[in-house]
Amino acid sequence: MEEKQSYWQENLRLIFICLAIWFVVSFGFGILLVEPLNEFRLGGYKLGFWFAQQGSIYTFVGLIFWYTKKMNQLDKKYNVEES
């Protein structure tokens, strides 16, 4: 039972980190901070605009795969993989 509790706690911590990044790149960089970021450029892109239309999407993809990898390690660590 203890084991299961700490497995769940570690999972929650991971989710929290991922969703914090998810929030920062989309709502943060793409919407709330878009104007100051637009002062910087990435090639022809204004940086805030790039996050809103490109960067946030790439980050989302990366986040899911990172979470999947971490969770697979966690499943092994706590020995709760599917039989």
Partner 1 sequence: MDELKLYTYIAVFGSFAMYFAIAWWARAGSTSDFYVAGGGITPLQNGMAIGADWMSAASFLSMAGMIAFLGYGGSVFLMGWTGGYVLLAMLLAPYMRKHGKFTVPEFISDRYYSKTARVVAVVCLIIASLTYIIGQMKGVGVAFSHFLEVEYENGLYIGMFVVWVYAVLGGMKGITYTQIAQYCVLIFAYTIPAVFISLQLTGNPIPQLGLGSTLADGSGVYLLDKLDRVVTDLGFKEYTTANMGGTINMFAYTLSLMIGTAGLPHVIMRFFTVPSVQAARSSAGYALVFIALLYTVAPAVGAMARLNLMNTIEPAAGQNMDYAERPQWFKDWEKTGLLKYQDKNGDGKVQYTANEASNEMVKVDRDIMVLANPAIANLPNWVIALVAAGGLAAALSTAAGLLLAISSSISHDLMKGILTPDMSEKNELLAGRVVMTLSIFVAGYLGLNPPGFAAGTVALAFGLAASSIFPALMMGIFAKKMSGTAAVWGMCSGIGVTMLYVFQHKGIMFIPGTSFLGDMGANWFLGISPNAFGAVGAIVNFAVAFLVLRVTGPAPAHIQQMVDNFRTPHGEITTAHNH
The phi and psi torsions of 46 (rounded to 5 degrees) equal -75, 140
Q: According to CB under 8 A, which residues from 54 to 73 bind partner 1? A: 54, 56-58, 60-61, 63-65, 67-68, 71-72
Judged by the rule CB under 8 A, the positions of this chain that interact with partner 1 are: 4, 7-8, 11, 15, 18-19, 22, 26-27, 30-32, 34-35, 38, 42-46, 49-50, 52-54, 56-58, 60-61, 63-65, 67-68, 71-72, 75, 78-83
